[in-house]
Structure 1
């Protein structure tokens, strides 16, 4: 997937084309985003090759015109895209950000598995007419043992499931403590935590996702990059505004949505941002207000990161525009 001169031998792998140019050196090497992109991109850049990661959706739309699909035809099609700039470059994260993302992903996985076991325990007990009810994570095990008391078969099954749940929660707590240590030592994360509704996990995920704030010329472009803006479908006199695009980083979008939901439903301290979101909820409904607040949180986080200021809880404390 490269832009080069004519005499070129294409060696094709899965969505990868390496060209051995005879008459000229490499000018561009296009790599479609994929599971092995980080390893392949770092390897090419380390030896001085002009590798460019290209966005998958744009590539798919261009290659869709081909009759036959194969690794060779895809590589040849991408090599035709590169010289005419029919691609959108994608930022490739550094190794540090990749490790932080892996830490957050692992913690989320352990938490989801522990919750899945809890739900399975509830379902198994319900078959015997035993209802766990509304109990917190701390009292859950004691409540299950209380219900299974006197039933030897159930106690044996519940003991195994509770042991697995306990181990998952212990490992999740260990990883979460590591997240807190990173956030405590990172000045940007500590500044982002001052924003209403933003916690350590959301701040670390935002820093790892954006990584270089200068990639966005304006803070308002962060929302569309994370898939938090509606999709416009216009043709002639028809103009339809659909739901949000859901493109970009799914985990970051979910964390922003959860942060907005916590601010509107659980946070007791009032702020100008919460007041703005509540006004949106009165006009458009709570669900749309949460999405709008999540988008605005992304804009505010990026702006606070760029100018190095803390979050202002009142409008009177906001800096005056020049």
Structure 2
């Protein structure tokens, strides 16, 4: 008899449900969301598993990679499709989600999701970190402008090099602001330094990637855009056509 497993992944503990080919629940469990614990649980299960399904999410790719390495028949499921399938549930719990995923695997009512390669995941993390630092130092600049405006001090037009000098010049006219402004400017300087560091790494990675280099031959396409696109596509062979790939990326 064939068996199917559904996994509802949570940060600390994941819920497991195993059903047979008739849809009857064979076993349920709560297992720590760690590859070692999950692989040990499957080793003790001692059943012929036809398919294992887990919904795509923040931890799913990490756990999926470990199960693939252990040669388990695991499938990464599209989040929107799973959500639509469970929409009619009157009460939604992690345990019921695991049961529902197991039944989807048994019936074949699922769409497989591509798991990003390690390189693509690293590039996406790099780009997300760069964007976060950029937004935070801009937030600090806007905060400084707003604080000084309350004292009638207008920063005016500046750039990344002249901003700090202009703010210190204005803050000098109100001695009570010196400590606060100094702390905020030092925080901005640190963010800006680390932003430039990640920006440089992203640029170098784009220049070392043949696919990104090819994209950069297009007018107006720079290192960041090309690296972002390459990381999103990851494996072009998974798309039937270029139109399908673009539609999926822009969706």
**Which residue is 1:53 aligned to?**
76
**Which residue is 1:303 aligned to?**
none
1:64 to 87, 92, 96: 87
- Equivalent residue runs for 1:28-177 within 5 Å: 28-177=51-200
State the Cα distance separating 1:183 from its structure 2 match. 1.5
SS of corresponding position for 2:49? coil
**Which residue is 2:10 aligned to?**
none
SS of corresponding position for 1:27? strand
Consecutive unaligned residues of structure 2, counting only runs of 5 or more, are: 1-5, 7-17
State the Cα distance separating 1:21 from its structure 2 match. 6.1
| Aligned equivalents of 2:219, 2:245: Cα separation in 1 | 18
2:221 to 170, 177, 198: 198
| Aligned equivalents of 2:194, 2:134: Cα separation in 1 | 9
State the Cα distance separating 1:66 from its structure 2 match. 2.0
2:208 pairs with 1:185: yes
**Which residue is 1:242 aligned to?**
none
State the Cα distance separating 1:10 from its structure 2 match. 2.6
Query: Would you say how many aligned residue pairs link Structure 1 and Structure 2?
Result: 227
| Aligned equivalents of 1:226, 1:213: Cα separation in 2 | 12
State the Cα distance separating 1:29 from its structure 2 match. 0.7
Consecutive unaligned residues of structure 1, counting only runs of 5 or more, are: 228-246, 248-322
Higher relative contact order (Cα pairs below 8 Å, separated by 6+ residues): 2
Contact 2:233–2:249 (Cα < 8 Å) also in 1: no
State the Cα distance separating 1:199 from its structure 2 match. 1.3
| Aligned equivalents of 2:142, 2:245: Cα separation in 1 | 36
**Which residue is 1:224 aligned to?**
247
State the Cα distance separating 1:14 from its structure 2 match. 9.1
**Which residue is 2:28 aligned to?**
10
| Aligned equivalents of 2:20, 2:119: Cα separation in 1 | 33
Superposed CA deviations along residues 85-113 of structure 1, whole A, max 9, x for unmatched, are 21121111122221111111111111111
| Aligned equivalents of 1:178, 1:184: Cα separation in 2 | 10
Contact 1:3–1:82 (Cα < 8 Å) also in 2: no
State the Cα distance separating 1:34 from its structure 2 match. 1.6
State the Cα distance separating 1:35 from its structure 2 match. 1.8
**Which residue is 2:14 aligned to?**
none
Contact 1:4–1:21 (Cα < 8 Å) also in 2: no
Distance 1:100 1:3, change over 3 A: farther
2:234 to 191, 211, 229: 211
SS of corresponding position for 1:11? strand
